[in-house]
């Protein structure tokens, strides 16, 4: 989850505290927020980046310090480019476009189509711009590996750059990167191939998709299934099934597990491993999604900010165990006495 707490793309003490508490969560995988592959690919000036040596050094040091205090846990990072949603104010300052005369920058996109009608249009990327961004994704993957990241997820959802290529709402190009489905997926696939080549084969690489734009004429679940097939054939390890974000006209029927059906359909139709996400809040709900074969993984966002010990409580409820930091191993209440398994504490 974006924290909007970086300085010039560099992780800060906020990340040390935030990552530190989540690394103790007992989750199977902790994913670091959307991390920009270029400076102008940040959503806000305060977004985390991995686009230069200073970002890489800050990430490496901060993650290393946070990890030293927690039980071993796999860490993924989401690589992202904000596209036409770049140059925004942080959410608690309204989240709107920062115009050039306010110190913003001109965002780039597949086509010069504004996200919202009242906004100035982004700059359409030319061939050099596309190659630069593709190479920046690959270079960021190399930096992430050097920083000790175990798995990567490419952000192709929520109306950011790679989703903007996939969706006919934001991509009106007439060259090899726009028009038909095959042309709209061409640049995202180029980026995927470049990252897969730069990222060790033994380390997982997933993709987050917006499986529907929730607007007529947008990217659809059928498109997502076909795109997932192509990604799996190229070595994609999971599809993280999210939705929306490319159009302010979207109408989203929010409800518990409202996106699980996308994970289920993609898993069944394309053979991809899937990750379900979105309003999955209870341990019973998460357990049922995996047990029923709707998805291989469950991702949770807001529930972990609300309760960073969500996994401990879920483990207690489901009769499972977690590994706590030893400092906290006397914390389990009586009705959850077995939750830390064989962890031993003694005193004299
Ligand atoms: C504060 C915040 C930051 C988020 N940042 C990201 C992000 O960096 N990348 C992303 O793909 N989704 C991001 N999301 C969306 C979440 O990953 C998730 O898809 C969404 O919140 C629905 O899941 P939930 O009901 O478990 O929160 C963010 C959500 C929140 C609330």
Annotate 12-81 with DSSP letters as a single string. Answer: -HHHHHHHHHHHTS--SEEEEEEEESSGGG-SSTTS-B-SSHHHHHHHHHHHHHHHHTS---EEEEEEE-
Whose alpha carbon is nearest atom 1 of ligand 1? 1
Model pTM?
0.98
Q: Which residues are identified as catalytic?
A: 160
Q: Is 55 in the pocket of ligand 1 (CB under 6 A)?
A: no
Q: Which atom belonging to ligand 1 lies closest to the Cα atom of 277?
A: 23
CA of 2 to the centre of ligand 1 (A): 8
Which of 11, 301, 308 most suits a substitution to test ligand 1, by most atoms within 8 Å of the C-beta? 301
What strands lie across the sheet with 274-277, from one edge to the other? 29-36, 74-80, 151-156, 205-210, 238-242, 274-277, 297-299
Cross-strand bridge partners of residue 298: 276
Closest by Cα among 41, 59, 34 to 135? 41
Whose alpha carbon is nearest atom 31 of ligand 1? 302
Burial of 140 (0-12, 13-18, 19+ CB in 10 A): buried
How far is the C-alpha of 202 from the C-alpha of 235, rounded, in Å? 11
How far is the C-alpha of 284 from the C-alpha of 267, rounded, in Å? 21
How far is the C-alpha of 266 from the C-alpha of 272, rounded, in Å? 7
Q: Is 90 in the pocket of ligand 1 (CB under 6 A)?
A: no
117 Cβ neighbours under 8 A, 6+ residues apart: none
DSSP class of residue 274 equals E
Backbone angles phi, psi at 98, to 5 degrees: -90, 115
Q: Is 208 in the pocket of ligand 1 (CB under 6 A)?
A: yes
Closest by Cα among 64, 82, 71, 80 to 11? 64
Whose alpha carbon is nearest atom 21 of ligand 1? 301
pLDDT tens for the chain, residues 1 to 348: 999 999 999 999 999 999 999 999 999 999 999 999 999 999 999 999 999 999 999 999 999 999 999 999 999 999 999 999 999 999 999 999 999 999 999 999 999 999 999 999 999 999 999 999 999 999 999 999 999 999 999 999 999 999 999 999 999 999 999 999 999 999 999 999 999 999 999 999 999 999 999 999 999 999 999 999 999 999 999 999 999 999 999 999 999 999 999 999 999 999 999 999 999 999 999 999 999 999 999 999 999 999 999 999 999 999 999 999 999 999 999 999 999 998 778 888
Q: Which atom belonging to ligand 1 lies closest to the Cα atom of 281?
A: 26
Q: Is 35 in the pocket of ligand 1 (CB under 6 A)?
A: no
CA of 321 to the centre of ligand 1 (A): 26
């Amino acid at each position: 989850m974006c924290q909007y707490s970086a300085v010039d793309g560099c992780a800060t003490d906020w990340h040390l505290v935030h990552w530190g508490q989540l690394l103790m969560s007992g989750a199977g995988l902790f994913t670091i927020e959307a991390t920009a592959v270029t400076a102008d690919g940040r959503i806000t000036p305060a977004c985390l980046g991995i686009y230069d040596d200073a970002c890489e050094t800050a990430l490496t040091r901060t993650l290393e310090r946070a990890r030293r205090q927690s039980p071993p846990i796999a860490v993924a990072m989401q690589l992202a480019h904000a596209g036409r949603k770049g140059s925004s104010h942080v959410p608690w300052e309204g989240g709107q476009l920062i115009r050039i005369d306010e110190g913003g920058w001109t965002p780039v996109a597949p086509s010069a189509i504004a996200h919202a009608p009242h906004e100035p249009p982004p700059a359409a990327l030319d061939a050099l711009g596309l190659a630069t961004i593709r190479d920046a994704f690959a270079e960021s993957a190399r930096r992430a590996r050097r920083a000790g990241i175990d798995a990567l997820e490419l952000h192709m959802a929520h109306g950011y750059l790679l989703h903007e290529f996939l969706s006919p709402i934001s991509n009106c190009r007439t060259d090899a990167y726009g028009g038909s489905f095959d042309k709209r997926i061409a640049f995202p696939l180029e980026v995927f191939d470049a990252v897969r080549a730069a990222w060790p084969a033994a380390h997982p690489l997933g993709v987050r998709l917006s499986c529907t734009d929730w607007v007529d004429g947008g990217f659809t679940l059928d498109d997502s299934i076909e795109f997932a097939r192509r990604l799996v054939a190229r070595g994609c390890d999971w599809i993280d099934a999210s939705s929306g974000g490319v159009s302010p006209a979207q109408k989203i029927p929010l409800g518990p597990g409202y996106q699980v059906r996308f994970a289920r359909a993609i898993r069944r139709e394309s053979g991809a491993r899937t990750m379900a996400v979105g309003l999955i809040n209870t341990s019973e709900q998460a357990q049922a999604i995996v047990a029923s074969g709707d998805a291989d993984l469950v991702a949770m966002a807001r529930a972990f900010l609300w309760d960073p010990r969500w996994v401990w409580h879920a483990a207690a409820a489901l009769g499972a165990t977690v590994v706590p930091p030893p400092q906290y191993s006397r914390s389990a209440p009586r009705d959850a006495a077995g939750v830390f398994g064989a962890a031993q504490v003694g005193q004299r």
